[in-house]
Chain A
Amino acid sequence: MSRGRLLAGALLALLLAAPFVPMGGMRQYALHVAIQIFIWSFIGQAWSLMGRFGLVSLGHGAFLGVGAYTTTLLWNFYSLTPWIGAFLAVGAAVTIAVVLGIPCFRFRVIGHYFALVTLAVGEVIRLLIVAERDWTGGSLGLTLKTAGSDWSVYAIQFADKRVFYYASLAFFLAGLWIWDRVDRSMARSALEAIGEDETAAASVGIHVTRFKLGITVASAAAQYISYVNPDTLSGIGVSLKIVFAVVLGGMYSLMGPLVGTALTTALAEGLRIAFGLKFLGMAETIYGLLLIIFIIFLPSGIYGSIRRVRS
């Protein structure tokens, strides 16, 4: 067994044992931060799966919003268990991805155009949620109806955050595994060819459309299953937050999204604790500045650059 594997194993054991370390009142907060990091890295992974192939989506918030609202509305209005709701949410997100994806790839909407179309889709979903305010609570949002007990498997509501900790960790690891598989499979060479030269790939006989569509659907669907209890929703702000964390960590490396998300979460939490709500907009100002600096000087991100220097 290589040293890298040993290290990864030790790290995993540490993560699995972490929730049982006695931390007193700090435990719930620490777990909350950890869950946030796992969920957003998972979403970041899904995004970068497409971003790496030149398909920069500015509308991932749309899929997030559709998924989150489908589950929440079905639970709140029909008391439908999120176990089924999540499947329907994935169905809804995939439907949108396909309806959007087929013409996008058929008419070869790529580059700037792809980013703009996804941006428009994100705005459409956000505006629809606001417009349907009788159902969705408009821009004020919607609170999830409580199941009335501390431990409800049916409603997927648990007062103990450890359950969510393990669930989000599991999804995060599953995301890593999927990415690793995509990387290793034939799709890798094919997709990289697409990113660089459409026609070259097409001439080798690779079905460009099917591959791209598969990636879109996979990344859109994947993030929905993870989104069990929504408290952050659709819109361009969310989409940019995803993009930013991934670019910061490194778009082209396996652990990049995790590193980026951990850093942005730490930054946001740190600023919140240090200044409270006094400096509204401060965290985002720093985000924006860092994003520009990173694109110019470190386009492969923090983690990506460290790896490059080492190898």
Chain B
Amino acid sequence: MDPIFLVEAAINGILLGGVLALLALGLNLIFGVLDIVWIAYVDLVMLCMYAIYFFNVAFGWPIWAAGLVSLAAGTLLGVAVHLLIISPILTSAPINQLLATGGLLFFLQSAATFLWTTDHKTVRLSLPLLIFQYSVHPFFGGQFGPLTFMICVLGGLGNMVGAFIASFIMSEIIAIGGVVISTEMGYVIAFVIFIVMMFVRPGGILAKRE
């Protein structure tokens, strides 16, 4: 194989790593402060991406205004989810918290499918924000959600530096594995490494060996 493909894959990996690091940063913040498993986190990000899309492309707002509105909408949604779903179960078993936010994931994903069908929607601009790199579709959360979650655990829950490093490790494996073998196998290798790391270093990559 031409080495130029590998270089290209490595650069793609860095770009993907940045996206994952951004997602992991937000999720880690919730972990660090609340100690709650917000498995539907990336689905809220998906809703914000839809908001940018609709305000910018459908209503013709300038991109910065669409971004601000989506930010506000995201904040409101986050507060609403916290008050309606998280508060009542703050004291219940961790498993229940996981299942409740899992229900939210199911709900948001299907509601998006129901409302906006499974079409991919893209804003045509070249700014380094998420929606400019990736098109938004109802299964965005399903695609990035589990991965973001694993990165947070891999980096050590609440450990920002660890999550940052873990993002780039995972993204490089996915990007290079995807070019050398196949897209699916890139993810398979990344997930297998996650599973093995859970056994070897349950406290995260930066944790001290017991």
Contacts and interface: CB of A to CB of B under 8 A. Distances in A.
Contact of B199 (A103, A130, A247): A103
Contacts of B89: 295-296
Contacts of A117: 195, 198
Nearest to B187: A127
A127 B186 CA distance: 10
B151 to A, nearest CB: 11
Q: Is the contact region of chain B dominated by helix, strand, or loop, or is it mixed?
A: helix
Interface string A108-126: 0101110111011101100
11 contacts: A109-B202, A113-B198, A120-B146, A120-B195, A123-B187, A124-B191, A236-B142, A288-B104, A288-B109, A295-B96, A296-B100
Interface string A121-138: 101100110110000000
Given A124-B188, A287-B110, A288-B103, 19 more contacts: A56-B99, A109-B199, A112-B94, A120-B191, A127-B185, A236-B146, A243-B102, A244-B106, A280-B114, A284-B110, A285-B111, A287-B103, A288-B105, A288-B106, A291-B99, A291-B107, A295-B99, A296-B88, A296-B89
Contacts of B191: 120-121, 123-124, 127
B25 interface: no
Interface of A: 51, 54, 56, 58, 100, 103-104, 106-107, 109, 111-113, 115-117, 119-121, 123-124, 127-128, 130-131, 236, 240, 243-244, 247, 279-285, 287-292, 295-296, 299
Most chain B beta-carbon neighbours within 10 Å: one of A100, A106, A290, A299: A299
Contacts of A284: 106-107, 109-110, 113
A295 B103 contact: yes
B192 interface: yes
A51 B103 CA distance: 16
Q: Is the contact region of chain A dominated by helix, strand, or loop, or is it mixed?
A: helix
B77 to A, nearest CB: 14
B99 A247 contact: yes
Nearest to A138: B184
A296 B84 CA distance: 10
